[in-house]
Structure 1
C-alpha cells in the first residue's frame, strides 16, 4: 500500500475509534444522568408521601407528567438557594463534571494523535524528498547505482525511479553521442589514410604525363591504366564507406521479403563471375530450396563481398556455397580451399581496413567489415574458421524468430 493511502487509512481508523469511544462515553454519561434524576425524583416522591399520606399515586403521576410550562424556572429554584447556572439540581449530579473533563481530555488526545500522525507523514515525505535530491546529486556526479531494496510503491519512489531511468537514458545518449564522434573521427582518419596512397599515385602519374610531352605511347598507356585502376579503387572505397556510414546511422531501410536463397546466391555468382574466371576459381552451390525473410539486394551485397574475398585467396581453387534450414535457424556456408587465414588474423578479420598477412596488394580491408554490418543489421551473425593452406569457411546464420 502507498504511504499516502496508509496515512489516510490510519487517520480514518483513529477517527472511527474516537467516534466510537465518544459515543460510548456519552451513552454512559446520559445513563448516569438519567439514573441520578430518577433517584432524585424517587426521594422527592418518598418525602411527599411521608408528609402527605393522603396524596394518591394518581395525583403524584399527574404532577410528574405535568406538561405545564413555567415562564421562569430559575426564580423557583432561587427560592431554595439553587442557582441553575452554577449548581446541579441534585447533589449526586455534581460528579458529572468529571465526564466533561474526560470528554475534553479524549478530544485533546485525539487531536494530539492526529497531529502526530500528520507530522510523521510530512517528516517521511521530507525525508524521501531529500533522498531524491541526494540521488540527483549523485547522478550529476556520475553515480548511477540504484538501491533496489529501498524502493517501494509510493508516489515519491515512482518519481525516484523515473528520475533514475531518465538520467540513465541521458547518460546512454551522451555515451552514444561520444561514440559517434569517436567513430566519425576514426572514419575520417581511415578515409584519409586509404585515399592518400591512390591519390598520391594518380597525382605523380598525371604530373609525369604533363611534364613529358615526348613520353612513349606504351608508358603513357601504362600510366593511364594505373590511373584508371586507382580511381576505381577510390570509387569502391568511397562507396563502401558511404554504405558503412549509412548502416552505422541506421538510415538504410531494409525491405524484408521471403526470398529464395538460391536466387540470392545466383545473383552473387553473377557479380563475381569475371573475377572467378580471371583467377580460375570454380563455384559450386547446394541450396536445398531454402527460403529466407531478408532484403535480397543487401544480402546479395554481403555475400558478394565474402565470395570476392574467397576468390582472392583461392587461385585455381574451388568455392562451395551451401544453404540449409532447420527449426532454429537458416544457415549459409561459403567455403574455399585457398591459402587460409592466419590464426592471429582471425579475431580482426571483420575489422574495417584490417589487412591480414595473406591479403592481396589490391585489398583495402573493407569488404568483410561491410558484409558483417549488413548481415547483423538484418538480424543475423557471421563467423569464420580457417587453417593455413587448407582454406576458410564463412558461416552465416539467421535465427527463425
Structure 2
C-alpha cells in the first residue's frame, strides 16, 4: 500500500470519527435537555397539584399564556433566559468546531506533506534524467513505493536500453574510425606510387607532347588525392569520429591561413580581398592586432572550411572584383561573412547549395560538388552554423556563426 493511500485512509478515518463524535454530542445534548426539562416540570406540578390542568394546558398551548408575566416572576428568583443547561450547547458546539478544525488541519498537513514529497521526487527524477542525458549512467535510481514506482521502473528500463545503445554506437564509431584510417592508408599508398612514377616518367621523356601528357596525368592524380582526402574527412565528420583540437584562435590567423592557398587564384583573376566589420565599420588595422577577436575552434579544420568558401567566392566572381570578409563579435557568437560580386544563387540552387556532389549552373568544369558540403560539416561539428544567401546589391554571401559555449580542449 502506498503512502498516499495510507494517508487518505487515515484522514478519512479521522474525519469519520469527528463526524460521529459531533452527531453523538448533538443527540446527547438533545436527550439531556429533554430529561432536564421533564424533571423541572415534574417538580412544578408536584408543588401545585391542584393546578396541574392549567399547567398542562400552558405546556400544550404556549400562545394562550402571558409569557412575559411568567418571565417577570422567574426573574424575581434570579432565573433568567440564560439557564445553566444552555452551557452544554456552547460546549458541544465548541467541541464540534474544534474537532472539525482538527480534522481539516490534519487533512491540510497530509496534503502539503504529500505535495512536498511529490515535488522532491519530481526534482530527483528530473536531475537523474538530466545526468543520463549528459552520459552519466553510474548513478543508481532510488526506489520507493509511491505513485512514481511504475514510472521509475520504466525509466530504469529505458536508461539501461539507452546505455546499451550508446555503448554499441560508440563501438561502431570506433570500428568505423579504424576502417576509415585503413582505407585512407590503402588509398594514399597507390597515389604516392603514381606521383613517384609520374616524376620518373618526366625525367625519361624528351618530347614535349609526352611530357604534357604526363603532367596532365599528374594533375589528375593530385585531384584524385584531394578528392579522396575530402571524402574521407567528410565521412569521418558525418560519423562523429573526426578529432577536433579546440583552442582560442585569433580570427586574423584563421583568415590568413585560409587565404594562403587561394592567393594564386586571386592574383590570376586580379581580385582584391577587403576585411571589415559587420557594417563596414572595422578597419583592417583596428580589427587585427591588439584588439583582435578570438574564437574557440580547431584551426586546421576551420581553415579548410573557410578556405573552401573563399575558393568558391573567388571562382564565382568575375575578374578585377572584390571579395569582402566581414568579422564581428558579440556575447553569443563570433560571426564571419564572405561576400563576392558574382551572379549569386538562383532560387533553385539555394536549398541545395550544401548538398553533397551538387554542382550549380555556374560550377567549374573540374568541380565535384563536395567543397561546400565539407565546409558545412566541419563548421557544424564545432557548434557553428552556416547559411548561404544573396546580397541585396548582387552577389553571394556565406554567413558563419561560431557559438561561444564550445569547451576549449587545448591551450
Instruction: Give the TM-score of the pair, scaled to structure 1.
Output: 0.51
CA distance in 2, matches of 1:326, 1:6: 52
**SS of the counterpart of 1:272?**
helix
Alignment of 1:264-283 (within 5 A): 264-283=254-273
For the aligned residue pairs, the C-alpha RMSD in angstroms reads 4.1
Contact 1:381 1:397 in 2 (8 A): yes
Aligned residue among 274, 293, 297 for 1:294: 297
In structure 1, the gaps of 5 or more residues are 17-151, 188-194, 210-214
CA distance in 1, matches of 2:209, 2:157: 71
**SS of the counterpart of 1:398?**
strand
Change over 3 Å in CA distance of 1:221–1:160 after alignment to 2: same
Q: Does 1:374 align with 2:378?
A: yes
Q: Does 1:159 align with 2:162?
A: no
Change over 3 Å in CA distance of 1:321–1:388 after alignment to 2: closer
Number of residue equivalences: 239
CA distance in 1, matches of 2:390, 2:2: 66
In structure 2, the gaps of 5 or more residues are 15-145, 181-186, 278-286, 406-411
Change over 3 Å in CA distance of 1:295–1:11 after alignment to 2: same
- Greater shift in the superposed pair: 165-174 or 302-311: 165-174
Q: Does 1:229 align with 2:219?
A: yes
CA distance in 1, matches of 2:356, 2:240: 18
CA distance in 1, matches of 2:390, 2:300: 28
Contact 2:318 2:341 in 1 (8 A): no
Contact 1:340 1:388 in 2 (8 A): no
Alignment of 1:2-401 (within 5 A): 3-6=1-4, 153-164=147-158, 217-286=207-276, 288=287, 289-316=292-319, 317-386=321-390, 390-401=394-405
CA distance in 2, matches of 1:312, 1:324: 25
CA distance in 2, matches of 1:154, 1:284: 62
Offset of 1:277 from its aligned partner? Answer: 1.6
Q: Deviations over 1:271-300 (max 9, x none)?
A: 211122223222122262322122222211
CA distance in 1, matches of 2:357, 2:306: 18
Offset of 1:167 from its aligned partner? Answer: 5.5
Greater C-alpha radius of gyration: 1
Contact 2:391 2:397 in 1 (8 A): no
- Greater shift in the superposed pair: 158-167 or 264-273: 158-167
CA distance in 2, matches of 1:388, 1:331: 19
Change over 3 Å in CA distance of 1:227–1:389 after alignment to 2: farther
CA distance in 2, matches of 1:169, 1:347: 37
CA distance in 2, matches of 1:383, 1:222: 41
CA distance in 2, matches of 1:315, 1:225: 28
Contact 1:352 1:365 in 2 (8 A): yes
Q: Which has the higher contact order (CA 8 A, sep 6+)?
A: 2
CA distance in 2, matches of 1:315, 1:14: 87
Q: Deviations over 1:116-155 (max 9, x none)?
A: xxxxxxxxxxxxxxxxxxxxxxxxxxxxxxxxxxxx7342
Instruction: Give the TM-score of the pair, scaled to structure 2.
Output: 0.50
Offset of 1:342 from its aligned partner? Answer: 2.3
CA distance in 2, matches of 1:163, 1:246: 32
Change over 3 Å in CA distance of 1:230–1:9 after alignment to 2: same
